[in-house]
Amino acid sequence: MDSLIAKGAELIQEAEKILVFSGAGLSTESGIPDFRSPGGVWSKYDPSDFYFDKFISDEKARVKYWQMSTEFYQTMKDAVPNRAHMAIKALEDTGKLIAVVTQNIDRLHHKAGNSPDKIIEIHGTAFSVSCLSCGKSYDRDDIQERIGSGVKVPSCDDCSGILKPDTISFGQAMPQDKMAQAMTHARECDLCIVLGSSLVVYPAASVPVNAVESGAKLMIINSDETPLDSTAELVVHESVSQALGDMVEM
């Protein structure tokens, strides 16, 4: 393990433009359940109930969606950044970090102090809500107050349209502007660090793929194997917070 940490520290020290790509395995170390792992969100709910088309067309699906979303929002709201989040902030402080592309919707990179303009939330955020008809935006806590008072499916004050947290659901289009930003950074980085991502969800996983194809070195810190392990300069199957924290502090 010590040799892997030393190799990772060397890669970070040699790099000039670092892109961090973070997934659920980073957030689980802050106590946020992983959707896919045993005991995660999909162990309690059926993912097919939450497809975007079903959310739009079925009132019962919206009731179930808000029930699920509310259950996990409080956990996310209470979560605090772990050592890896703080290590990423330390990378920004060195001037080497060009961006954090995250699949996570928990705002922990913001809480850690990374500059908002360096954080690209390609799967959106759970901390705001928008009307799918008129686009009016709401603070998530305001909507949660409504749900707490007994409203099962909140609707827009202005147009009575369907409200939805600003997260990307199955079957919902990815934010093209954010994906374009992520791909630009993938092409310009010289080191891409993947943290806690299985790299099986596309198009998100195409970001580190693009980085490698553009000549960047790849470092993967994840508990399990990923499809990109064979292309990586370094693979560490250990705690993300411990491994990255040790590398950055060396």
Active site residue 123: yes
Q: Which token pair is 76?
A: 């996310």
Choosing from 85, 109, 123, 185, the catalytic residue is: 123
Which of 113, 54, 69, 73 is CA-nearest to residue 89?
Answer: 113
Catalytic site residues?
123
